[in-house]
Structure 1
Amino acid sequence: MFNWAKQTLANVVGTEEPIYGPSAIKSVAEDAKSTPYTEISRDDLKWNALDQTSVETQVFYFMADSGHIGLAQIIYSNVAGIRTTVQFNSKIFYTDGSKPHLWCSNPLSEVDFSEDKTSFYAKDCAVVLSEDGKSYTIKSMNDERSIVNLKLTRTAPGFVAGKDGKTLYGTDLANPWGTMRHAFWPRCEAEGSIVTPDGPVDFKGRAVYIMCLQGMKPHHAAARWNFLDFQGPNYSAILMEFTTPPSYGATVVDVGGIVKDGEIITAGTTCRATHTKTKQDTVNGWPEPTEAKYTWSGTTKDGKTVEAVVEGPTERQDCVDVMAEVPGFVKTIVANAAGTKPYIYQFAPHKPVTLKLKIGDEEITEEGRLFSEATFISAIEEAK
């Protein structure tokens, strides 16, 4: 009971958590030992809109045939059940350096959900799941610099790791005080545009969709993040990795998969991101990865072994100082947290990147495009 009280205090006022250790987290990898992944349906894409400290997001990443990379994101945040704030973010990466990246972040009002909680509505903004559960439309007129009208349609099944995708936090895991869950559509076709002051940017191409629920303070749930999105003509690869703070044993949790149109080749928690070369960022002190390696292993439905790797230079596109750029509610959540210094590095190599894939005895090499992120929030060295 005392731990629960300390956790509640930490949630409300932002104090650091005590060291509970690795026994206070149940990684989704435990479930994945018996059920590596579960294909998802419309019911698995419902908003939770929790009445407690939490951050829930829908994020869509776009790789346009034109070369642009874009993202659209809803962030639904609740602080201690006292205040809910909702934000719509959009970003266009001009990867050729022809223009500064366009980043827009706007608070939303008049927030509502469809009756079945699968679609989101706000004033001048809507993210709607189709009746057949296979496509989303994203429309926003919240910022005249970024008028969003996009649609993505999944071409491969979506999945969660394990049975339900959840990692649990708490000293009594039968009654956890926190959760983390990711659901993925790793391969989608995209269409539509974002209209900017310089005209429309066509996002016909490929896309990825991720729904994430952090059912606790985000900087208590994770101290580090790695994310990779690879899109090739025939294959897509996705990987999401987080490392908990020392309070939960600096535990590393990975979720990812390799898919092609109509089929998940393999998915689950046996994947890993490794920063193979780093340099210290003189601005913030974090070890920025300059080269990285991403690996996946697993089996197909018919029992063939699968191994995959993507590696090479990262090529930084941007570094986001979260405290300076994201909305005020995030500052509210992390303002009092000692040692919290969140930065998101965003990478996209200009040259095609190679996915090396082995399915049984068959070796496949495919060139494609890569977008990745490395996020540093707080130090994890204390756990070593």
Structure 2
Amino acid sequence: MFKWIQGGISAVTGLAEPEYGESHFHSSTKRLTSKKVNPYTRAVVSAGDFDFQNPSNTNVETATFYINDLETGYCGFAQIIHSNIGITTTAQFTFKLYNNNKDLGFKQIWTSTKLENFEIVDKKNFKADNLTLQWNEDGSLRIKSEVNPESIVDLLFKPSITNGVKFGTDPNTYYGPSIEEQWGSMRHVYHPRCQVEGTVTNLTTGDVIEMTNEKTFGLYVMALQNMKPHHCAKEWRFAWFVNETESLVLMQFETPKSYGNSIVSQAIVTIDDDNETKVIACPCENDLKLLGQYKDEETGWSFAKSVDYTFNGYEIKDNNVDNEVITDDSKAITFELKGELSELIERMDVMNEIPQFVKNIVSGVTATKPFIYQYFSKDLTLSRSDVPESAFRGSAWIEVTYITDEREISE
């Protein structure tokens, strides 16, 4: 009787699931490593790789524009969140801008605004009242928003690589008895390095921030959680390291116990060489260490003082070859990203705006209490095993997201 009730509640509110185990989890990266192929696959706008998937069931789909101006110190992101919660579909625009130069006296901008009259246009574009996401014929994309007077945004992202990156020809990770009988999925597609230009205006303070120099870089990520988010993952790790010639992107999640605490880890390393940006590796067997952790007494989660992230991959010999076979002479490369997390930008309560009675039910039954810890460090180092004594310095946006504490779950 309890299992029947649990299943019924789960369908409505997304509470705890039975333990299906690893047999019901079909990882996008494991499919590649088991075939011994390099994970890199070109993601093409015209082929629909950057389209909104827009499934009819419960899901959350996001288009996120990360920015980092190495010259002025401004960094942050603009994000469109398109959510189907089963009863209705909603959309939100969130924006954050931070500056690591304390001498400027800049107070960070953080806005989250509900969108009205929104729609997906031609599958890959998006519009709402006073907001547009538009792909241009030259492969660039523009995000413009006037939905909040504190964050008037007009940013143009120009990818440094003609095509983006996805892991495998099918970038989806599937949940269910088999890929053919799946009941949910997770998907990420990337433009790992972009040039950015535009402005951010705060009408409340009168600040107009121009991003026009050649040291303003961007990252664009399309993501889909095609089931209830806390059923997909119990913890996330995100990192974006960038300097004038190198960049590294990490997206990693760990499933709840219901899917065997399985890990999917995707990293992309690029380098600018001879005025050309190249993807040099897409590691997906990675070891991520948070160092100097201490408990956050208010949430029960942990702060971190530094990171030591290791990425194990293979050299991509030709950017025009998808999923090249890994052979005995394939060049293995290990990258290490390490350093102090010098600034905790924000500790964000994800459920802060959820109605209290729903929050009580969800957190009480499943120990779901999602918090995002956002860090910025302007002095991390990226080293690589094939370049002796390498230590490329740069700045990084680091996120650690905790969703479910399974130690608190019991029948």
Paired letter, 1:105 = S
Q: Which residue of 2 aligns with 1:322?
A: 350
Check 1:57–1:337 CA distance in 2 against 1; reply closer, same or farther (3 A cut): farther
| Contact persistence 1:245–1:379 (CA under 8 A) | no
How much does 1:326 deviate? Answer: 7.6
Q: Which residue of 1 aligns with 2:90?
A: 85
- SS state of the match for residue 46, structure 1? coil
Aligned to 1:342: 370
- Inter-partner Cα distance in structure 2 for 1:8 and 1:292: 41
2:175 aligned with 1:169? yes
CA distance change for structure 1 residues 41 and 68 in 2, over 3 Å: closer, same or farther?
same
Kept after mapping to 1: 8 A contact 2:152/2:201: yes
Structure 2 portions without partners, runs of 5+:
318-329
Assess, with a 3 A threshold, how the Cα gap between structure 1 residues 322 and 129 changes in structure 2: closer, same or farther.
same
Matched residue type, 2:402? F
Match of 1:201 in 2: 209
Matches within 5 A, 1:149-298: 149-156=154-161, 157-196=163-202, 197-198=204-205, 199-204=207-212, 205-261=216-272, 262-298=277-313
Deviations 1:137-193 (A, max 9, x none): 000000011101011111134211122211111134321111001111111111111
Change over 3 Å in CA distance of 1:190–1:214 after alignment to 2: same
Q: Which moved more, 1:60-69 or 1:93-102?
A: 93-102
Which moves more between the two structures, 55-64 or 167-176? Answer: 167-176
Matched, 1:137 2:165: no
| Kept after mapping to 2: 8 A contact 1:160/1:182 | yes
Q: 2 CA distance for matches of 1:259 and 1:28?
A: 21
* Normalised TM-score (structure 2): 0.85
**CA offsets, 1:325-376, max 9 Å, x none?**
5899x96995775211111000112x422111233x6664311111110001
Rounded Cα–Cα distance in structure 2 between residues aligned with 1:332 and 1:191: 43
Q: In structure 1, what residue type is equivalent to 2:43? A: I
- Equivalent position SS for 1:341: strand
1:74-112 Cα deviation digits (max 9, x unpaired): 0000012x2100000011113335243211111111112
* Paired residues of 1:275 and 1:293 also in contact (CA < 8 A): yes
Q: Quickly say closer, same or farther: Cα 1:7–1:251, change in 2 above 3 A.
A: farther
Offset at residue 201 of structure 1 (A): 1.8
Question: Contact 2:14 / 2:231 at 8 angstroms: preserved in 1?
Answer: no
Conservation of the 8 A alpha-carbon contact between 2:185 and 2:227: yes
Asked if the contact 2:250/2:267 (under 8 Å) is kept, the reply is: yes
Distance between the aligned counterparts of 1:321 and 1:253, measured in 2? 24
Separation in 2 of the partners of 1:194 and 1:307?
A: 38
Relative to structure 1, is the Cα distance of residues 240 and 5 closer, same or farther in structure 2, using a 3 angstrom cutoff?
farther
CA–CA separation in structure 1 for the residues paired with 2:23 and 2:408: 17
SS of corresponding position for 2:156? strand
CA contact (8 A) 1:193 1:203 kept: yes
1:373 pairs with one of 380, 399, 411 = 399
CA contact (8 A) 1:11 1:216 kept: no
Equivalents in 2 of 1:148, 1:102: separation in Å? 12
Amino acid at match of 1:324: N
Over the residues paired in the alignment, what is the CA RMSD in angstroms?
2.5
- Say whether the 8 Å CA contact 1:93–1:101 is kept in structure 2: yes
Taking the aligned partners of 1:94 and 1:322, their CA distance within structure 2 comes to 23
| CA contact 1:58–1:74 (8 Å) conserved in 2 | yes
CA contact (8 A) 2:64 2:78 kept: yes
Letter in 1 for 2:301: W
Question: Identical aligned pairs, as a percentage?
Answer: 33
Please give the alpha-carbon distance, in whole angstroms, between the structure 2 residues aligned to 1:317 and 1:4.
43
Corresponding residue number in structure 1 for 2:29: 29
Counterpart amino acid of 1:299? Y
Q: Is the 8 A contact 1:274 1:292 kept in 2?
A: yes
Q: Select the residue among 125, 139, 161 that pairs with 2:131.
A: 125
Higher mean C-alpha displacement, 277-286 vs 192-201:
192-201
The residue type paired with residue 74 of structure 2 is H
Name the CA shift for 1:334/1:155 in 2 (closer, same or farther; >3 Å): farther
TM-score (norm 1): 0.91
